[in-house]
């Protein structure tokens, strides 16, 4: 089976590509390398440099290789930055999907797995969040992911596309030779670990006056390996119908608790400072992933906080400059 992975040179896309290859699928990575890294593309995957906005090239690739399934990871992900550039996020995270879906239909490829986000929920009405909670995004990034889901649902309803939408909570960790190298880096764990490595003077905690057990925000962390495994399970289940799933561990940790665990894993004192709240931050986000567990038999294998941090730390020490490109 030939699989098309848009954004396969990125963090989650590269790990999913690696696991697909380990299951002996024929994988083609399509990436413009604006955010991704060529060195992150696993050996064995066919790499095609291209942009999803280039419909002519996209169509030629689909005509030549006749893909069975598409994975769509390509997007901008920086929540805070989306407030400064809302038009850019809304455009970039939605416009390419029209090209991709139309090319899929023209070439009789009807299955797609997309990366969505917990940001579609906005301020939760209950914790843990279930898939039937209202979608009320409180950021342009979250809005762009909600629009992405709506566009694909429309194509499913009227054009026969079959899809799975996976709503990530906080991805972390590393798998084998693949790790997290965002530029700029905005994710909590790598920012703390970069401070431990001496690449940053101190780690910033944005707000310590939330109504949580220690005043800092609570998040649900999931290992990138477990995320990638969920994508493959969702792909295999598309014959049963369209799917929407949360992906999280079901456990919440405060920023200070994550910092303490990072100090424990690294054996280093990590300097930090408390600053004001950050726009768009929500006090508590914890997933209920019971639906995917019950329907697909998914389970987390590496998503305890210590394993997430240890694998991320090991990778960062081996790759202090990321992929170096």
Residues designated catalytic: 141
Among 245, 14, 293, 234, smallest CA distance to 111 is for: 234
Q: How far apart are CA 222 and CA 85, in angstroms?
A: 28
Report the half-sphere exposure of 48 (CA within 13 A, side-chain side): 20
Of 62, 24, 63, the C-alpha closest to 45 is 24
**Minimal CA–CA distance to 143: which of 115, 119, 167?**
119
Q: Per the omega criterion (within 30 degrees of 0), is the bond before 184 cis?
A: yes
Determine contact, residues 19/224, Cβ cutoff 8 Å: no
10 near 73, Cβ under 8 Å? Answer: yes
Determine the length of the chain. 325
Q: What stretch of H or E contains 146?
A: helix 140-159
Measure the CA–CA gap between 177 and 243, rounded to whole angstroms: 30
């Amino acid at each position: 089976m030939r699989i098309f992975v848009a954004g396969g040179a990125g963090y989650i896309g590269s790990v999913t590509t690696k696991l697909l290859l380990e299951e002996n699928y024929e994988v083609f990575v399509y990436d413009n390398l604006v955010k991704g890294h060529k060195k992150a593309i696993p050996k064995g995957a066919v790499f095609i440099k291209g942009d999803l906005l280039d419909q002519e090239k996209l169509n030629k690739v689909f005509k030549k290789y006749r893909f069975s399934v598409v994975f769509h990871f390509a997007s901008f992900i920086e929540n805070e930055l989306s407030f400064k550039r809302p038009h850019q996020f809304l455009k970039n995270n939605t416009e390419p999907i029209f090209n991709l879906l139309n090319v899929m239909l023209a070439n009789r490829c009807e299955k797609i797995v997309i990366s969505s986000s917990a940001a579609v929920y906005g301020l939760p009405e209950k914790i843990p969040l279930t898939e039937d909670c209202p979608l009320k995004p409180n950021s342009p990034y979250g809005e762009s992911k909600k629009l992405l889901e709506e566009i694909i649902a429309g194509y499913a309803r009227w054009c026969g596309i079959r899809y799975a939408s996976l709503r990530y909570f906080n991805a972390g960790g590393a798998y084998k030779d693949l790790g997290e190298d965002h530029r700029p880096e905005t994710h909590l764990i790598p920012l703390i670990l970069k401070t431990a490595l001496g690449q940053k003077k101190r780690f910033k905690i944005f707000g310590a006056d939330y109504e949580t057990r220690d005043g800092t925000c609570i998040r649900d962390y999931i290992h990138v390996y477990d995320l990638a495994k969920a994508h493959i399970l969702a792909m295999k289940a598309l014959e049963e119908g369209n799917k929407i799933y949360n992906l999280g561990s079901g456990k919440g940790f405060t920023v200070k608790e994550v910092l303490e665990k990072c100090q424990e894993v690294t054996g280093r004192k990590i300097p930090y400072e408390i600053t004001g709240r950050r726009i768009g931050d929500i006090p508590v986000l914890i997933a209920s992933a019971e639906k995917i567990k019950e329907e697909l038999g998914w389970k987390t294998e590496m998503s305890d906080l210590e394993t997430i941090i240890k694998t991320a730390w090991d990778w960062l020490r081996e790759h202090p400059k990321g992929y170096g490109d």
